[in-house]
Amino acid sequence: MADKIYRVDMTALKATIEDVPEEWIGIGGRGLTSTVVAKEVKPTCHPLGKYNKLVFAPGMLSGTSCANSGRFSAGAKSPLTKGIKEASAGGTACVSLVKLGVKAIIIEGMPEKEGYFGIHIDKAGITIKEETELVGKGNYESIKTLMARLGDKIGVIIIGPAGEMRLSAANISVRDPQGNIRSFGRGGLGAVMGAKKIKFISIDDTDAPGTDLVDKQKFMDAGKTFAKLLSSHPLAQGLKAYSTNIMINILNEAGALPTKDFRYGQYEEHEKVSGETMAEIIKSRNGKPSHACHRGCVIQCSQVFNDKDENYVTSGFEYETIWGLSAHSGISDMDINAQADRIMDDVGIDSIEGVQAIGLAVEAGLIEYGDAEGALRLLREIGEGTPLGRIIGSGAAQFGQIYGLTRVAATKGQAFAAYDPRSIKGLGITLATSPMGADHTAGYAVAQNILKLGTFVDPLKKDGQVDLSRQMQIITAWLDCTGLCEFVLLAMAEHMDVMVPNVVDMLNARHGSSLTMEDLNNIGVKVLKTEHEFNLAAGFNSAHDRLPEFFEEALPPHNTTWDFTEEEIDAFWNF
């Protein structure tokens, strides 16, 4: 069965199924979401208005047996950055869409009537129905209700109260294989879904045709080598043992762990919140120190965190969230931090924006540094819809503007995660130049600057950093088209000569194409240029590719500064 485009018109409350245009056949994931947004969305439109569109697209390897390929992309014009945005997530919905032959879902228009709607996709097609039961409910309760209503195997794409309130840091969540929550975290895409009055999309792949392979043996041969190199890599094993929070101690040692709103590069209480400590806590409470957010993941960097009574609290408890609550805001209690993570997952807010805003609440004098109960209270206000809760739920940049703060780590309106660019200068170039705003995953130069994977570029010096960031952003752009997890890059950095050809072979064996390694590079370049051109048409210019002024301050312990000239940064776009 040939893949199809599922187009949903929320103004007419009708859905149509279309053939895939020829120019979209050879792309997927981020490449497809950005292509559709660039072609069909007015760059100057209001992100929450009728001209914006929300696009979901599985990757080109999603739904296959390829290791770590179960991710898909969401894209739109971002309410947070006001530019183009793509975010990715795992969970179960992606594979179900592939089985049903859904190349992409394009959601356009806005309902004229009040109320929210649920969209259901199965082998019979797509239906739109008014939804009343789940409106105002948190993600945990809503997913549980949908599983009881439609079966415990369904895929779910959903927004929480933050999305319904159209807060600019609202995310879109998905159900993982155990019924827990993963998210399209960044860029406020939940607000776009809320503006279109969609509470959820459910996917039932019962009796679906499944996934075809043009050359099964070739696919299996390449996939076996790929999976072996990925799962045996030392950092992949470290992520499985200690989750993404393995980075706390690594970044602290490197002097690049932002502390007290990016004033210092090291945190005295780092051991209390490290990945090693968290793993010990999880094991002692019969939780799961490793856990897959989607089928086929061989890294399993997620986990299940229980409280002291061994009751479930949260899953997918990420390094960036823990950093923002601990080093950034002074809360070194893992149980408090886990509660905060659950609140943000339930209300449907990007946890990076959420924890950055908590640190800025300290700057504004709303709470004290280390005030655990105060932090939880502020996060609960998001779901309650109080004026202060809405400000926090609108992200760090908005919070800083409203409270008159100049020390706000954000570019293009999007908050930094847990890395200081003065001590990881290659990543700093990514944070400055990415069309996505300050997105560390857009070109994770930490791999070469800090982890020394494949090559080493001194993180404290400017030399080679622009070229490194450009290379990583190009690779990441084409990787995001495949549906592969970002962490594949860590092993790939040391096995480029084998793993990239593996990916090429799997893509060709899956689709019957004749791609080369050069073609992948060209796809990455095209994606970045498409996104950059959209942003330019939306009103962006080189001034938006700048880090905040306070990064001119020296960062202890290395006392490095952000010392790139404007010309050096702008040279990034000289492809």
**Contact by Cβ (8 Å): 209, 101:** yes
- Residue located via tokens 């696009």: 55
Q: How far apart are CA 89 and CA 538, in angstroms?
A: 26
84 has which bridge partners?
Answer: 77
Q: How far apart are CA 288 and CA 186, in angstroms?
A: 26
Q: How far apart are CA 45 and CA 51, in angstroms?
A: 6
**102 phi/psi in degrees, rounded to 5:** -90, 110
Q: Is 132 exposed, middle or buried (0-12, 13-18, 19+ CB in 10 A)?
A: exposed
Structure tokens, 501? 């050809």
What are the tens digits of pLDDT across the range 55-91? 999 999 999 999 999 999 999 999 999 999 999 999 9
Which residues are within 8 A (CB) of 531 and not within 5 positions of it... i.e. 6 or more apart?
Answer: 34, 38, 83, 84, 86, 435, 436
Q: What is the DSSP letter of 128?
A: E
Q: What is the DSSP letter of 560?
A: B
Between strands 198-203 and 116-122, the pairing is: parallel
Structure tokens, 393? 């739920």
Q: How far apart are CA 71 and CA 61, in angstroms?
A: 9
Task: State which CATH number among 3.60.9.10, 3.40.190.10, 3.40.50.11540, 3.40.50.300 fits the domain covering 4-203.
Answer: 3.60.9.10
Measured between its terminal Cα atoms, the distance across the chain in Å is: 39
Between strands 102-108 and 4-9, the pairing is: parallel
Domain extents for the chain?
Answer: 4-203, 240-418
Q: How far apart are CA 102 and CA 365, in angstroms?
A: 49
Which three-class secondary structure state does DSSP give residue 48? coil
Query: Hey, what CATH topology would domain 240-418 get?
Result: 1.10.569
Q: How far apart are CA 178 and CA 3, in angstroms?
A: 28
Q: Is 419 exposed, middle or buried (0-12, 13-18, 19+ CB in 10 A)?
A: buried
Would you tell me how many other CB atoms lie within 10 Å of the CB of residue 180?
Answer: 22
What is the pTM for the complete model shown?
0.97
**Contact by Cβ (8 Å): 78, 218:** no
Peptide bond just before 209 cis, omega within 30 deg? no
Which residues are within 8 A (CB) of 384 and not within 5 positions of it... i.e. 6 or more apart?
Answer: none
- Residue located via tokens 């996709």: 121
Q: What is the pLDDT of residue 58?
A: 97
Q: Where are the alpha helices (DSSP H) in 385-516?
A: 387-392, 396-402, 425-433, 446-449, 465-482, 488-492, 496-511
Q: What is the pLDDT of residue 98?
A: 96
Q: What is the pLDDT of residue 1?
A: 60
Q: What is the pLDDT of residue 195?
A: 98
**150 phi/psi in degrees, rounded to 5:** -120, -5
pLDDT by residue, tens only, the chain of 575 residues? 679 999 999 999 999 999 999 999 999 999 999 999 999 999 999 999 999 999 999 999 999 999 999 999 999 999 999 999 999 999 999 999 999 999 999 999 999 988 999 999 999 999 999 999 999 999 999 999 999 999 999 999 999 999 999 999 999 999 998 888 999 999 999 999 999 999 999 999 999 988 889 999 999 999 999 999 999 999 889 889 889 999 999 999 999 999 999 999 999 999 999 999 999 999 999 999 887 787 778 888 889 999 999 999 999 899 999 999 999 999 999 999 999 999 999 999 999 999 999 999 999 999 999 999 999 999 999 999 999 999 999 999 999 999 999 999 999 999 999 999 999 999 999 999 999 999 999 999 999 999 999 999 999 999 999 999 999 999 999 999 999 999 999 999 999 999 999 999 999 999 999 999 999 999 999 999 999 999 999 999 999 999 999 999 999 999 999 999 999 999 999 98
Q: What is the pLDDT of residue 171?
A: 98
Which three-class secondary structure state does DSSP give residue 267? coil
SS3 content of the chain, % helix, strand, coil (to 5): 45, 15, 40
574 has which bridge partners?
Answer: none
What are the tens digits of pLDDT across the range 123-133? 999 999 999 99
- Residue located via tokens 């051109």: 533
